[in-house]
Amino acid sequence: MRYECIECGSIFPLEKKLYTCPKCGGLLEVEFDLEKVKEGLDTKFLETAPLSVWKYRPFMPILDDSKIVSLGEGGTPLYRCERLEEELGVRELYVKYEGANPTGSFKDRGMTVGVTKALEFGAKVVACASTGNTAASLSAYAAKAGLKCVVILPAGKVALGKLAQTVMHGARVIGIRGNFDQALAIVRRLCEEKDDIYLLNSLNPFRLQGQKSIGFEIADQLGFRAPDRVIVPMGNCANIWAIYKGFWEFREVGLIEDIPKMTGIQATGAMPIVEAIKLGLKEFRPVENPETLATAIRIGNPLNGPKALRAIRESNGTAEAVTDEEIVRAQKDLARLEGIGAEPASATTIAGLRKLLRVNAISEDESIVCVITGHILKDPQEIMEVSERPVEAPAEFEEVVRLLE
């Protein structure tokens, strides 16, 4: 196992605590000798063991198993959505429901690996900037590991459900009068200047190693085959790359034959990656003041933007942006047609699918997996604002019947 820079190709030993390339400042990726991984795979175990992140231990860059910090993450449902198939006119549609993770989002997959690495590196404190889900997840895993947790977030712009989780788990929370990108700049400097604080934003390459298990599980749940397309919300853009990497590694060791077309969805108020894909730009242009009701993807300068561009282009995928109105419609479709409760950012995948079908950018005959990244209760205030209000009535049978007519 080794770090490898995606920009200059430099290689570094995994025992070093690195976030970015010491030579060029580029993003780092953890790479394996996949031939050795392949030689040691127990295919019978993979075919029969229950789903979880740690089922895929040979693909996880941990050196000391005794330090593994787990809350039982992974093993999330893959729902076949027949009513949505009919509504949208597609042949085969699944939803990978990451809201079933311990803290209600996909972030738990990254934190089980990231916090384990923090212990391996001897950190005493873990830290992150967050729009909500990262903070909720990190605070829980830090509590489990007995580590202090520091969170920097944009004051007044984090959904109540996520903030409630973070403070209950005991994190030290500081709200700044600014946006996520400014919060991230502060926490990066904090971790660079204080050696005992370990950064666990998605700049950390180990976070993404846990998140690639989404790709592993989708293939596993489909009988070790890849769907034609996987659609993912894009905020900081770590997840679309991580899922792509999971499929890529499974293909390289012979567990699947193909890689799905990776398709990323952003909100129209925060769409730097979509713009780069549509205009054919080599690099994305940051959005200075991102805005959308989908707070989890309200990010204008995504850390892993270069990795997202690579995942989309190398898999022959695409990207699309959706409005807040389209997101709310998709939330309601998921809830009312399939019984699946999703936070706004998660619903972008269904909204994006509808839009891509409408403009004939993808085929109705594809097998498609939409990744639903977070639970509906992550943002209860938004739900109440966009849904029909409950009505009140006297405690009399006739009055209730009258209201139902």
| Domain-located, residue 246 | yes
| Domain-located, residue 56 | no
What is the reported pLDDT for 305?
A: 96
CA–CA separation, 5 vs 21, rounded Å? 6
The whole domain housing 15 covers: 1-31
Return all residues near 40 (Cβ < 8 A) that are at least 6 apart.
Answer: 58
| Domain-located, residue 9 | yes
- Number of domains comprising the chain: 2
| Domain-located, residue 393 | no
CA–CA separation, 76 vs 404, rounded Å? 37
Alpha-carbon dihedral angle through residues 286, 290, 292, 296, given to the nearest 10 degrees: 70
Q: What is the pLDDT along the chain (405 residues), one digit of tens a residue?
A: 999 999 999 999 999 999 999 999 999 999 999 999 999 999 999 999 999 999 999 999 999 999 999 999 999 999 999 999 999 999 999 999 999 999 999 999 999 999 999 999 999 999 999 999 999 999 999 999 999 999 999 999 899 999 999 999 999 999 999 999 999 999 999 999 998 999 999 999 999 999 999 999 999 999 999 999 999 999 999 999 999 999 999 999 999 999 999 999 999 999 999 999 999 999 999 999 999 999 889 999 999 999 999 999 999 999 999 999 999 999 999 999 999 999 999 999 999 999 999 999 999 999 999 999 999 999 999 999 999 999 999 999 999 999 998
The answer on 244 and 330 residing in a single domain is yes
What is the reported pLDDT for 244?
A: 98
Q: Side chain identity at 153, as an amino acid letter?
A: L
| Domain-located, residue 221 | yes
Q: Taking the CA atoms of 64, 21, 134 and 76 in sequence, report the sign of the dihedral they define.
A: negative
The answer on 5 and 85 residing in a single domain is no
| Domain-located, residue 199 | no
What is the reported pLDDT for 400?
A: 94
Mean pLDDT, the chain, whole residue set: 96
397, exposed or middle or buried, with CB in 10 Å at 0-12, 13-18, 19+? Answer: exposed
| Domain-located, residue 191 | no
| pTM for the whole structure | 0.95
Q: What share of the chain is helix, strand, coil (3-state, %, to 5)?
A: 45, 15, 40
pLDDT digits 0-9 by tens, 324-367: 999 999 999 999 999 999 999 999 999 999 999 999 999 999 99
pLDDT digits 0-9 by tens, 276-319: 999 999 999 999 999 999 988 999 999 999 999 999 999 999 99
| Domain-located, residue 214 | yes
The CATH number for 86's domain is 3.40.50.1100
